[in-house]
Amino acid sequence: MTKSSQPEGRPPAFPYLADPRRKAMRKLHCERLPLNKLAEQYGTPLYVYSGSTVRSRYQAFDAAFDSIPHLVCYSVKANSNLSILRMLSKMRSGFDIVSGGELERVLVADKKAAERVVFSGVGKTAPEMDLALRSGILMFNVESTSEVELLANRASRLKKHARVAVRVNPDVFAETHPYISTGLRKHKFGVPIEEARGLYRTIARHRYLKASGVSVHIGSQITSVGPFGDAMQRVADFVGVLRSDGHQIDYIDAGGGLGIQYHEAALDTFPEKAKTYAVSISKPLAELGVTLLLEPGRSIIGPAGALLTRVLYHKQNDGKQFLIVDAAMNDLIRPTLYSAHHEIVPVDLAPDAKTATYDVVGPICETGDFFARDRELPVTGEGQLLAILDAGAYGMSIASNYNTRSRPPEVLVDGKKVRLIRRRETVRDQVRIERKSL
């Protein structure tokens, strides 16, 4: 049975366990904690993360690269909660950042983590560069000649040396949503390999810059490993060219992008998947003697999180059934932004529950405010709790205040323990930085 309501084989973060009082009923848990308890305690909507899942996925990913010197730099933009960053930093994770704000978060989480930070992004500003230079980060991944000139200028002003990698655009196609595909010539990201050679010469001319690496990131939610291997082969060939030009290339940054399975029950085969990914990435680099940098985001945190929501109203329009829930697109925008699929499961699962076909929608005044359309779910009534699964990555980190909705709280579960790692936002929080001056 692979119906979405069937819990068998779900990754271990959110198991159904028997209700001790009514043996036939099953209750969705995060680790050992029943989600209905968390909903009572913290209200809904609520982001719930499994700490042990984050740790085990990080460890599996890290272990997959055992055979090569490497540093896993968790991509902060996937989920930037301070407790998540701190937990990863304690495991010696590095961080991939795309803004000065993310660097500040990393430093708040662990001020000693700066030396394990790589700074990506196509539009770094001077103040962001200054903060990163002063903090002594590991690497700047640069994307244009103008950026190199600005970085050189800031570095010499501050008398701070900086290691630099050019993010090259390998022009490989990776099957994913067009909004999260980045490795083609037509995308704004990276420098075409043919042009990058000249950029390395420019970098080498600047006293405070050191051309130390090559970086690549071909996109996100990529589920076949072929494109990663192809990109790395091109990068490996290019490293040979750069070395013949006299550059000392010590790092290759393979970027992030390893996809997860959003559809249906999947046994947790992540260690094997990470291994396959690691082999395809490492193979072209075997002879190069470089340190490999990796920037996984989604594959570490995605399956560790769920968005818990309560059904406000059941409504029928022209024969169509709607479940109007208290979470909305401001809390989790992936379905409408990327046409993303998220499994939605009831927190209380009755044996042999009948199913019906629903649109699961939020209260926001937008037709795009939906989590699922024409989805077969166990018959669900008003007041019931639903869990939107695999919402740990690009969920809370993209949440907004649209419709003046306050962003949900986040809790981190470990076994039977729970910690509030971000309280529910209030409207007072929202208006505090506004003025009603007339």
Ligand X SMILES: *Cc1c(COP(=O)(O)O)cnc(C)c1O
Rule CB under 6 A: is residue 120 a binding residue for ligand X? yes
| Shorter beta-carbon distance to ligand X: residue 44 or 141 | 141
The binder of ligand X chosen from 57, 77, 154, 405 (CB under 6 A)? 77
The binder of ligand X chosen from 62, 147, 295, 390 (CB under 6 A)? 295
Rule CB under 6 A: is residue 117 a binding residue for ligand X? no
Whether the Cβ atoms of residue 87 and residue 51 lie closer than 8 Å to each other: yes
Pick from 12, 38, 14: nearest CA to 26 = 14
Rule CB under 6 A: is residue 124 a binding residue for ligand X? no
24: helix, strand or coil: coil
The binder of ligand X chosen from 220, 280, 330, 384 (CB under 6 A)? 220
Pick from 236, 254, 333: nearest CA to 299 = 254
Rule CB under 6 A: is residue 98 a binding residue for ligand X? yes
Rule CB under 6 A: is residue 385 a binding residue for ligand X? no
CA dihedral 53, 256, 65, 270 (to 10 degrees): 40
Catalytic option among 1, 365, 433, 438? 365
The binder of ligand X chosen from 51, 213, 255, 362 (CB under 6 A)? 255
Rule CB under 6 A: is residue 183 a binding residue for ligand X? no
Phi-psi bin for 403: left (phi > 0), alpha (psi -120 to 50), beta?
Answer: left
| Binding segment (CB under 6 A) for ligand X, from list 106-114, 253-261, 282-290, 402-410 | 253-261
Cβ at position 191, least distance to ligand X in Å? 14
Cβ at position 220, least distance to ligand X in Å? 3
Rule CB under 6 A: is residue 305 a binding residue for ligand X? no
Give 428's contacts (C-beta < 8 A, 6+ positions apart): none
The binder of ligand X chosen from 30, 60, 76, 78 (CB under 6 A)? 78
Alpha helices in 283-372 (DSSP H): 298-301, 334-338
The Cα 27–Cα 308 span in angstroms is 13
Cβ at position 108, least distance to ligand X in Å? 21
Rg (CA), the chain: 23
The residue type of 179 is Y
| Shorter beta-carbon distance to ligand X: residue 106 or 347 | 106
Buried b (16+ CB within 10 A) or exposed e, 18-56: eeeeeeeebbbbbbebbbbebbeebebbbbbbbbebbbb
Query: Is the backbone peptide bond immediately before 45 cis, with ω within 30 degrees of 0?
Result: yes
| Shorter beta-carbon distance to ligand X: residue 213 or 256 | 256
| Shorter beta-carbon distance to ligand X: residue 297 or 303 | 297
* C-beta neighbour count of 91 within 10 angstroms: 13
Whether the Cβ atoms of residue 335 and residue 97 lie closer than 8 Å to each other: no
Site for ligand X in 258-277 (CB under 6 A): 258
Tokens linked to 163: 């290691």
The binder of ligand X chosen from 206, 217, 273, 342 (CB under 6 A)? 217
What does each C-alpha distance from 279 to 10, 55, 68, 238, 284 come to in angstroms? 26, 22, 10, 20, 9
The residue type of 326 is D
Residues that bind ligand X (rule: CB under 6 A) add up to a total of: 18
| Binding segment (CB under 6 A) for ligand X, from list 106-114, 229-237, 239-247, 295-303 | 295-303
| Binding segment (CB under 6 A) for ligand X, from list 22-30, 71-79, 86-94, 100-108 | 71-79
Rule CB under 6 A: is residue 70 a binding residue for ligand X? no
Rule CB under 6 A: is residue 296 a binding residue for ligand X? yes
Rule CB under 6 A: is residue 298 a binding residue for ligand X? yes
Rule CB under 6 A: is residue 94 a binding residue for ligand X? no
User: Is there a catalytic annotation at residue 30?
Assistant: no
The binder of ligand X chosen from 45, 227, 297, 362 (CB under 6 A)? 297
Whether the Cβ atoms of residue 353 and residue 362 lie closer than 8 Å to each other: no
* C-beta neighbour count of 385 within 10 angstroms: 24
| Shorter beta-carbon distance to ligand X: residue 257 or 378 | 257
Whether the Cβ atoms of residue 300 and residue 54 lie closer than 8 Å to each other: yes
Cβ at position 332, least distance to ligand X in Å? 15
| Binding segment (CB under 6 A) for ligand X, from list 36-44, 107-115, 195-203, 296-304 | 296-304
Which residues sit at the interface with ligand X, rule CB under 6 A?
75, 77-78, 96, 98, 120, 217, 220, 255-258, 295-299, 393
Q: What residues act catalytically? A: 365
